[in-house]
Structure 1
Amino acid sequence: MANVYDEAYALETAIRNSNDYKELQELYAQLQADETGKKLFDNFRQVQMSLQQKQMQGEEISQEEIEQAQKQAQLVQQHDVISKVMESEQRLSQTLTDVNKIIMKPLEQLYEGFDNENE
C-alpha cells in the first residue's frame, strides 16, 4: 500500500503540472513584468489581507476601509492581466476545493455512517 504522504506529494506534482496551474504561473509572470500592474496587485492583496486579518480577530472594519477595498477592487478589475490572473486563480482554487472534498470523503462517510448507526 502506498504511503499517504507519497500520494500527497504526487498530488502536488499533478497540481503543478495541471493546465490551470501552468496558466496561472504564466499570467503571474506577465504581471510581475508589469511594474504598474504589480504595484496595483500588491496593494490590492495587502488591503485584502489586512481586512481578512481584522475579520479573523473579530475587529470591526470601518466604512473607510470598505470603501478603500472597493476602490482597489475596481482598479484591479480594469487591469487586463490582473483580471486574467484572478480568473485563473479562481479556477485553480475551485479545483483545489474539489480535490479537498474528495480527500475528506472517507472522514465524511465515516461520520455519516456512525451517525446513521446511532439513530
Structure 2
Amino acid sequence: MSANLFDMAYEMERGLRQSKEYTELRKLYDQVNADPSARAMFENFRQIQMNLQQKQMMGQDIKPDEVQQAQKAVALVQQHPLISRLMEAEQRMSMVIAELNKIIMKPLEELYGAPGQ
C-alpha cells in the first residue's frame, strides 16, 4: 500500500479530532466522566450493550429478561440530560464516519458497480 494513502488517513484522523462533532463529543464525554453518578449509569449502559453485542456475534440467544434489562438501561440513560446529549453527539459522529466511509468506498463501488448492473 502506498505510504501516501497512510499519510492521507492520518491527516483525516487529525481532521476528525479537530472537527466540531468530535470536540463536542469529547467535551460531553469528559462531563459525563466528571459526574460520578452519570459515569456509573453510562458505564452500566455500555456494559449491557457490549454483552448483548458479544452474544449476537457469537450466535447466542438473547433472553427476554436481557432485552428488558437493556430497554430499561436505554430509557434510564435517555432521561439523564448529560448522557442523552452525549449519545446524540455519538450519533452525529457516527454519521460523519459513515459519510466518510461512503466517500472512501466510492472507487470500489464504481469498479464493481451497483448490484444488478
Q: Using the alignment, how far apart are the partners of 1:91 and 1:8 within structure 2?
A: 20
Computed over aligned residues only, the root mean square deviation of the Cα atoms, in angstroms, reads: 1.6
Give the paired residue count: 115
The alignment-based identity, stated in percent, is: 52
2:100 corresponding residue in structure 1: 99
Mapped partners of 1:33, 1:8: distance in 2: 32
Q: 1:55-108 deviations in whole A, cap 9, x for unaligned? A: 111100000100100110111011010000000010010000000000000011
Letter matched to residue 48 of structure 1: Q
Distance 2:42 2:51 in 1: 14
Matched, 1:77 2:68: no
Q: Which structure 2 residues correspond to residues 1-119 of structure 1 after superposition, within 5 A?
A: 3-112=4-113
Pair member with larger Rg: 1
- Tell me, what secondary structure is at the counterpart of 1:3? helix
- Distance in 1 separating the partners of 2:35 and 2:28: 11
Structure 2 unmatched runs, 5+ = none
Question: What's the TM-score once normalised by structure 1's chain length?
Answer: 0.92
Gaps of 5+ in 1: none
Q: CA deviation at 1:112?
A: 1.2
The amino acid that maps onto 2:20 is N
CA separation in 2, counterparts of 1:40 and 1:111?
45
Please identify runs of 4+ aligned residues in structure 1 that moved more than 2 A: none
**TM superposition score normalised by structure 2:** 0.94
Q: String of CA shifts for 1:14-43, please: whole Å, max 9, x gaps.
A: 000000000000001100000000000000
Deviation of 1:2 after TM superposition, in Å, equals: 7.3
